[in-house]
Structure 1
Amino acid sequence: MTLRIAVQSKGRLFEETMELLKETGIKLNNTKRTLLVRANDFPVEVLFLRDDDIPQAVATGVTDVGIVGENEFVEKNEDAEVAKRLGFSKCRLSLAIPKDIDYKDVSWFNDKKIATSYPHILSTFLKDQNITAEIHEITGSVEISPSIGLSEAIFDIVSSGATLVSNRLKEVEVVMRSEALLIKNKNLEAEKSAILDDLIFRIDAVQTAYKKKYIMLNAHESKLQDIIDLLPGMNSPTVTQLASNGWCSVQSVIEEKRFWEIITKLKALGAEGILILPIEKMIL
């Protein structure tokens, strides 16, 4: 039994998905030229598709699961189920207008023409806001629409905002935030569900380790409780008696964002021989 996974065939989401699969121990060959690739050491095969085809492929059972941007999943509105939010390829879907226009609130969009590749999401938002506007659906280069007179505003993906700036546009309303999703067919067989559970277990182990560091240090017993209070770890730090009388080795996990704050406090408490190691996987 093999679990088929649909993956975007190119772009940033493709790159980040391939890196995630690699970190979970799934090795693929010839991904550049082959539509369907079988993993060497895990019961999955990867089907490479356009991002906007993945929700339908999963919903109809052409593929069992898929990794797709939340924006495409919501836009296509297919009958599939979110198995896990993956937390990468983050972006937002926003309304933007020419930078020189004075904007006060969403009512500005009444009776305006808006260009977008996401008409379903946009129409739902406008309806919720009681806004009546003309939606002009196009694919690609949405950001040039106002400058060529095709629309008065756009609704599109925004990451850094640099594309908007280069086209003399400004973001005025964030409609939704998006990230990569692992979606699944609602009628997945029991054996395939078991494989999916194993895959999610591996993904959890990889993602739990993100932005965390393993720390080892030596400390005198007189300072041990203060250091334990500073290093709670996942449950509690590991403490081992050293050969030197009155000294212990302490091991724990810290968040990378607090790294320098914690190191400074540890040194103030007399910690010595501080060693910081990257974490590849973490099983809770």
Structure 2
Amino acid sequence: MQAKLKIAIQKSGRLSEKSLALLQECGISFNLGSNTLRTESHNFPLELLLLRDDDIPAYVSDGVADIGILGENVVLEKGYPLEIVEKLGFGKCRLSLAVPRATHYQGLSDFAGKRIATSYPKILGTYLRVAGVEAEIHVISGSVEIAPSIGLAEGICDIVSSGSTLLSNGLKEVEEVLTSEAVLVAKPHLEGEKRDIFDKLLFRLRAVRRSQHNKYILLNAPQDKLDQIIAILPGLKSPTVLPLAEEGWVSVHSVIHEDDFWEKIDALQQAGAEGILVVPIEKMLI
């Protein structure tokens, strides 16, 4: 009987949908009902466990799951000996300190001797200790934003995405403690068949991730401008160059990273490139 790799993901919340979408883009299919907590893929040796985000580190550490997708902030707060294998580029947020909007905030030292409500006492405690600030950390598991308005604390430390929740609760962000995103974690020292399955999954995942950040570009270029255009477009090894029916012209194919996209396009047009086509990449294997 073939071994199955067990992966834990968030059953609901901001990472759940994108975690499932990532697995689907890797060609892995699941039958999911509305109350499904465990299911197996029918086309890849992977078993899916849908859990509370906060429980995933313990499940992976204990070997109930082999790998997991969750927020980096949760990994750091729980402190289990897990390997962060890959940052996944979605679910980006920050853990920040915030105070009531009317507060005249001058710096981190303003929190000295004050009460800070948070669900992240370990991360916050380390941050304050390194900064040399002594404050009282009040641990609460939810609705952190209301703590100042009910007199529980003078400030909070909580996850911020857009900042709209802080705004609606009369708070302002004053210090960034940590940046976070979804990460793939694994129990160290996976071996045997499970290691082989994990390596195959990781190969697929990285191919999908690379495709999301690159575009395939095709353009027509005059032969006498080819060297200049190739200098702008170094492909994975070098651009592909094909002759066109019209004498003195070639077709150039390459890949551009999204961070350089518009700058490269401008440079190509100035160098004489014409008929530029940009195509999304579904998978990128290197």
Asked if Structure 1 and Structure 2 have the same fold, meaning a TM-score greater than 0.5 normalized by the shorter chain, the answer is yes
Cα deviation 1:91-145 (Å, max 9, x = unaligned): 1111111112122221111111111111111122222222222211112211111
Cα distance in 2 for partners of 1:272, 1:94 equals 48
For 1:172, the aligned partner's letter is V
Structure 1, 96-105 or 57-66: larger mean CA deviation = 96-105
Q: SS of the counterpart of 2:117? A: strand
Q: How far did residue 31 of structure 1 move?
A: 4.8
Structure 1, 231-240 or 251-260: larger mean CA deviation = 251-260
Cα distance in 1 for partners of 2:278, 2:240 equals 15
Q: How far did residue 173 of structure 1 move?
A: 1.4
Superposition RMSD in Å: 1.5
Which residue does the alignment assign to 1:198?
Answer: 200
- Contact 1:31–1:37 (CA<8 Å) still a contact in 2? no
Q: SS of the counterpart of 1:149? A: coil
Which residue does the alignment assign to 2:148?
Answer: 146
- Contact 1:13–1:89 (CA<8 Å) still a contact in 2? yes
Which residue does the alignment assign to 1:167?
Answer: 169
Cα distance in 1 for partners of 2:266, 2:186 equals 46
Give the length in aligned residue pairs. Answer: 284
Which residue does the alignment assign to 2:221?
Answer: 219
Cα distance in 1 for partners of 2:253, 2:152 equals 61
Q: How far did residue 258 of structure 1 move?
A: 3.6
Cα distance in 1 for partners of 2:124, 2:89 equals 23
Q: How far did residue 168 of structure 1 move?
A: 1.6
Which residue does the alignment assign to 1:130?
Answer: 132
Cα distance in 2 for partners of 1:267, 1:51 equals 48
Change (3 A) 1:131 1:35: same
Structure 1, 17-26 or 126-135: larger mean CA deviation = 126-135
Cα deviation 1:20-45 (Å, max 9, x = unaligned): 11111111111532111111211101
Please list every run of at least 4 consecutive aligned residues from structure 1 whose deviation after the TM superposition is greater than 4 angstroms: none
Cα distance in 1 for partners of 2:226, 2:83 equals 48
> 1:44 and 2:9 equivalent?
no
Q: SS of the counterpart of 2:225? A: helix
Q: How far did residue 64 of structure 1 move?
A: 0.7
Which residue does the alignment assign to 1:58?
Answer: 60
- Contact 1:119–1:135 (CA<8 Å) still a contact in 2? yes
Cα distance in 2 for partners of 1:261, 1:65 equals 39
> 1:111 and 2:113 equivalent?
yes
Cα distance in 2 for partners of 1:270, 1:173 equals 48
TM-score (norm 1): 0.95
> Which residue, out of 183, 186, 203, partners 1:184?
186
- Contact 1:88–1:180 (CA<8 Å) still a contact in 2? yes
Which residue does the alignment assign to 1:3?
Answer: 5
Structure 1, 80-89 or 212-221: larger mean CA deviation = 80-89
Cα distance in 2 for partners of 1:173, 1:262 equals 36
Cα deviation 1:228-252 (Å, max 9, x = unaligned): 1111122211111223222211001
Cα distance in 2 for partners of 1:210, 1:23 equals 11
Percent of residue pairs bearing the same amino acid type: 55
For 1:95, the aligned partner's letter is L
TM-score (norm 2): 0.95
Consecutive unaligned residues of structure 1, counting only runs of 5 or more, are none
Consecutive unaligned residues of structure 2, counting only runs of 5 or more, are none
Which residue does the alignment assign to 2:284?
Answer: 282
Cα distance in 1 for partners of 2:82, 2:258 equals 36
Cα distance in 2 for partners of 1:195, 1:27 equals 15
Q: SS of the counterpart of 2:80? A: coil
Q: How far did residue 257 of structure 1 move?
A: 4.0
Cα distance in 2 for partners of 1:185, 1:196 equals 11
Q: SS of the counterpart of 1:16? A: helix
Change (3 A) 1:181 1:259: closer
Change (3 A) 1:261 1:127: closer
Cα deviation 1:176-206 (Å, max 9, x = unaligned): 1111111111242321111111111111101
